[in-house]
Amino acid sequence: MAALNYKVIGDDMQAVVLELTQGQAVKAEAGAMMFMTSGVEMDTKMEGGLFGGIKRKIAGESLFMTTFACHAASGTVAFSSPYPGKIVPLEVSGQTLLCQRDAFLCADREIELDIAFTKRLGAGFFGGEGFILERITGHGIVFLQASGAIVRKDLANGESLKVDTGCLVAFEGSVDYDIQMVGGIKTAFFGGEGLFLARLTGPGQVWLQTLPFSRLADRVISASRRSVGEVRRGRSLLGGLGDLISGD
């Protein structure tokens, strides 16, 4: 089967547009499709049966996967990310990729999506993603979604990288993944980076995101609370002024 012809469009609100030929097919998360032409037909099913659907749900994905197959001479289908950031195309050629929950957007039909359990207790409890990661295998192209910009690091054998757990998008199966505590007590509690960092040891490639969606959500919630407090204080001040005026 011919390789997928695709184009990632947009800057901070990206989409991937795939040009399919007859017989080609891709699969995607339910609800990820942006548009498709008349030459493409979609079919939604629970891949791997109920057990496969439950595993995907545990990994942060939907119970159902939708397949988009081209039955005409050519067809186009596009998928978009649900939040600002980048779409990362990765070529899978028999190796294993491990990625954060909710990272999967769409992929070649030959790509397999499964769950992976972290090997170490510390990584499971404090790794930000819990015990569950997504395992991607097979042959073809997979498109991951990430928040902010993407940074790729190529780790040599034995080379280590310490990463904020929320900034980790994906890493090759050859990379060792563990969690370690941040410095001393003062640094851990007042350094602003949390209590734990992910430690990634090569060989292999690692993909990071500059703005985890959870961090963005925390800032939005915090700003909203401040705004509500300011509005309430403003109303109280206006009420007090009104009482003074009416008292005169």
What's this model's pTM, rounded to 2 decimal places?
A: 0.76
Q: How do residues 100-145 score in pLDDT, each as one tens digit?
A: 878 899 999 999 988 876 655 444 444 444 457 889 999 999 999 9
Instruction: Tell me the three state secondary structure of residue 58.
Output: helix
Domain boundaries, the chain: 5-209, 213-240
CATH superfamily for domain 5-209: Mitochondrial biogenesis AIM24 (3.60.160.10)
Check if the beta carbon of residue 4 is closer than 8 Å to that of residue 28: no
| DSSP secondary structure, 95-115, as one string | --EEE-TT-EEEEETTEEEEE
Q: How do residues 52-90 score in pLDDT, each as one tens digit?
A: 555 555 555 556 789 999 999 999 999 998 888 999 999
Strand partners for 198 = 163, 179
What pLDDT score does 46 carry? Answer: 64
Q: How do residues 148-167 score in pLDDT, each as one tens digit?
A: 899 999 999 999 999 988 89
